[in-house]
Structure 1
Amino acid sequence: MPLALFVRGFASLRHRKLNLTTTRAHEIGASLFIMYCGGIASVTVLGTPAASEQLTETVNLIPFRFAYDMFYGCFAGKPAAAWINILGNIALFVPFGFLLSLLWRGASWQKAVLLSAGFSAAVELCQLTQPARMTDVDDVLLNSLGGFVGYLLFRLIKAGTAETFRVTEIKTYTSEQE
């Protein structure tokens, strides 16, 4: 949370320098987005105490291997664990796609998927250095799908709320107005 406040404070100064105005709702939304990203990074990179066991395989670069694992591999006979893994990875990035679309006027489904994939890939690369974490290309694919679902959710409820959160007006200040 302190990082989110610092980043938003810095962004507010930048907005002022560029003569941009913003709304309180936008600032709250942007702060929530920064806290969400920090929370994702801390949970997925640093891990949790329950995830401290050593893994025998720490890197998977084969796309859609989770589908194989559901039926024949590590999740064989444990369909609940497989679905928790799949749905959890999708759900984890739904807020990313939603908040990104809410705050960014130029958001499209392609940008939501690309930025979700980029953030997820950065998290997965950080996990390479952690002994109790697994780097998995399937996580990037599922997280990207979650970003897409978040974008779709935003489009479904866009009605009139999105404009409240966006920077909508550019004001030009002269030295006489200050």
Structure 2
Amino acid sequence: MKKSTKNRIRVIGVILFFLYLAVLTYFLFFSEKYGRTAEREFSYNLTPFLEIRRFWNYREFLGLKAVFINLAGNVLAFVPFGAILPVISRRMRGFFRVMLLGFSFSLLVECTQLVTRVGTFDVDDLMLNTLGAVLGYLFFALCDRIRRHIYG
């Protein structure tokens, strides 16, 4: 691939990444649709799988939409993180590197939610967000492998 094409792809990736961060910030901290208010007490869950299990056990009462938004939404929200980072920088490639970066970024988000009292610090969200970043990286790796196979 030509160097100019790589640079163009990298620039587009940076723009997409900042747009992604802006949208993610809105939904995580400002969207009233997802129950974001700044009047709550400190709220946290440090027990792994507690909220995941609760949402699954009460899925009929809560409704499929609420369960999907909480469980799949936490995964899907971080897929772009893991897919775009390796496009932006070669140093951001590698399964464990993206997993650690996804976990670190999710931890930053969860701590910010705790301190600002917008949302809840939830260890389950850390796990689901990290899974999303990893799935995003696997999608990138698959696409990169296909590209290399086709274009040599």
RMSD: 2.5
Using the alignment, how far apart are the partners of 1:85 and 1:109 within structure 2?
25
Using the alignment, how far apart are the partners of 1:136 and 1:83 within structure 2?
17
Residues 1:67 and 1:42: Cα distance change in structure 2 (over 3 Å): closer
Using the alignment, how far apart are the partners of 1:76 and 1:55 within structure 2?
27
Partner of 1:116: 102
Partner of 1:92: 77
Partner of 1:156: 142
Using the alignment, how far apart are the partners of 2:52 and 2:111 within structure 1?
22
Identify, as 1 or 2, the structure richer in helix: 2
Deviations 1:43-92 (A, max 9, x none): 21x221232456677211111112331355x6563351223311000000
Gaps of 5+ in 2: none
Specify the code of the residue in structure 2 equivalent to 1:87.
A
Query: Equivalent pairs: percent with the same residue?
Result: 31
Partner of 1:6: none
Residues 1:83 and 1:39: Cα distance change in structure 2 (over 3 Å): closer
With normalisation by structure 2, the TM-score equals 0.77
Gaps of 5+ in 1: 1-20, 162-178
Task: Say which one has the larger Rg.
Answer: 1
SS in 2 for 1:133: coil
Partner of 2:88: 103
Using the alignment, how far apart are the partners of 1:25 and 1:64 within structure 2?
38
1:19-168 alignment runs, 5 A limit:
23-44=7-28, 46-50=29-33, 51-52=35-36, 58-72=43-57, 77-78=61-62, 80=64, 81-106=66-91, 107-158=93-144, 159-160=146-147
Indicate conservation of the 8 Å contact 1:70/1:76, yes or no. Answer: no
Residues 1:92 and 1:82: Cα distance change in structure 2 (over 3 Å): same
With normalisation by structure 1, the TM-score equals 0.67
SS in 1 for 2:61: coil
- Ranges of 4+ aligned residues in structure 1 off by more than 6 Å: none
Using the alignment, how far apart are the partners of 2:111 and 2:60 within structure 1?
27
